[in-house]
Amino acid sequence: MQCQRCQCEMDPDEAREHAGLTLCEDCYMEALSPARTCDPWATYTARRLTEQEPTLNPAQQAILDCIDREGPVSPERLSEATGLDQVALQREIAALRHMELVRGAPRPGGKRVILRFDAVDPAS
């Protein structure tokens, strides 16, 4: 059996139904709980936690290291530099945004870049 979103092979007993699609567990969880970068409660909670020394996982640290090395970077470049797929990258960026460590900035043509939260955007 195949997931209708990511096309991975799965056992029939692992299949989940959502919005008329047969999904693997990972796609099902992503459909039920998508990453949200604009979440005031998560930002409030993360700010309180980061008043202590923030604890970052290796993926979050790799994202920050890439931004520190290269400046504002596209999500595609971050994905390439960290080895994370787009879904995992969005989750990590959302967590970093809640900690007020990174933010997004628009670019022409509907593109966007990720930069440090307190950085001055050279394009603005």
The arithmetic mean of pLDDT across residues 58-67, rounded, is 95
d(CA 89, CA 112): 14
Indicate if 71 and 81 belong to the same structural domain.
yes
Instruction: Give how many domains the chain has, as a whole number.
Output: 2
The arithmetic mean of pLDDT across residues 30-53, rounded, is 63
Indicate if 21 and 39 belong to the same structural domain.
no
Provide the CATH number for the domain around residue 58.
Answer: 1.10.10.10
Quick one: pLDDT at residue 46? 57
Which of 22-26, 31-35, 43-47, 95-99 has the least mean pLDDT? 43-47
Residue 34 pLDDT > 90: no
Indicate if 90 and 104 belong to the same structural domain.
yes
Mean pLDDT of all residues belonging to the chain = 84
Residue ranges making up the domain that contains 28? 1-33
Q: Which of 105, 92, 106 is nearest to 35 (CA)?
A: 92
Indicate if 61 and 100 belong to the same structural domain.
yes
Q: pLDDT > 70: what percent of the chain? A: 81
